[in-house]
Every structure is written in C-alpha cells, then in structure tokens.
Amino acid sequence: MRALVWVLVALFAAVAVQTALRGRHGEVRAARQAMVVDGLLESGTVSRARLVAAVDLLLRCERVDGAVEDLWTTAQARQVQQDAVVRLDVSAMQSGAEVRRLLAVSLERSLETDYAFLDWALTVQREGCRSTGRAAMAYSKALYATERSTAAKRDFIRCWDRVATTYGLRLRTENDL
C-alpha cells in the first residue's frame, strides 16, 4: 500500500512539474510574440518619420520630387507592415487577437493616409507649389485620413500599452506609429 502511495505521489509530482514547465514555456512564447509585435511597431516609427519629413518638405516646396519618392517608399513599407500583421502569431500573448486586430486597423488607416498624402504630393509635383483647388482638396483629404489613422492608433495603443507593460516593452504614442 505504501508503494502505491509513493507511486501516486511521484505521478502527481511529475504532472505538476510538466504543467509548470508548459506554463513557463507559454510565458516565454508570449514574450517572444510581444517582442515581434514591438519590432513591427518600431518599423512603423520609421515609416511615420519619413511621412512627416516628406510632408514638411512639400509644405515648404522643397525637394518635391524627393518628397514624392519618400511618400511612395513609406506607402510600400507600410504595406509590408500590414502584410506582416496578417501572419503574426499572437496566440500565446495576452490579448493577442485584439492586438492584431487593432494593429491591422491602425496600419490600414495609416496606409490610407500615406496614399492620401502621396496623391496630394503628386498634385503638387504636377501643378507646382502654388495653391490650386485640386491641391487644396487633396491636402484636405490627407488631413481627414490623418484624423482617422490617429483615432485608430489611439485605440491600438490603449490595448498595446497593457501588453507592453506586461512584457517590459516600450510604451507607445500615436506619434510612434
């Protein structure tokens, strides 16, 4: 009888150890997934900085051709980021599905903004820096797209900051994306 008790104790101990190891593996996996998302966010920071710099050049009517090229590059990079979100494995991460959904919306809105500013830039490139009705309309559309993307970014950040805090990652603002 005593041998049976020891066997049962050993069996329960083995199950407890396996469960603990599985839990630890899940935590490590979740942290890695959060780090991948954070890396994607960092690439978004680069895209946004390029967008802001190009818009600034256009507003000053400097290096218009270069600004158009930078906006095109930004839109392409943002498309790559958006494609990467679809493939993200966030299954182990806290609020993973919500993070992916909100990030996808944020990137979609950002891409719309990139293309709206590109449309404005192409109008400026074609018509020159003087203010025309078409240029003003294109710029207004870009500003509206910016408002929509900023709102989507804020929604994402509210969710992301809880995750970032859990895994010791950098907190973000909409200006980072």
Cα end-to-end span (Å), the chain: 65
What is the per-residue pLDDT for 20?
37
Model pTM score: 0.82
50-54, 88-92, 132-136: range with lowest mean pLDDT: 132-136
Q: Could you tell me the residue ranges of all domains in the chain?
A: 32-176
Percent over 70 (pLDDT), the chain: 85
Distance CA 48, CA 40 (A): 13
pLDDT over threshold 60, residue 19:
no
What is the per-residue pLDDT for 1?
47
Amino acid at 136: A
Q: Tell me the mean pLDDT in the region 162-176.
A: 92
Using an 8 Å Cβ cutoff, are 94 and 166 in contact?
yes
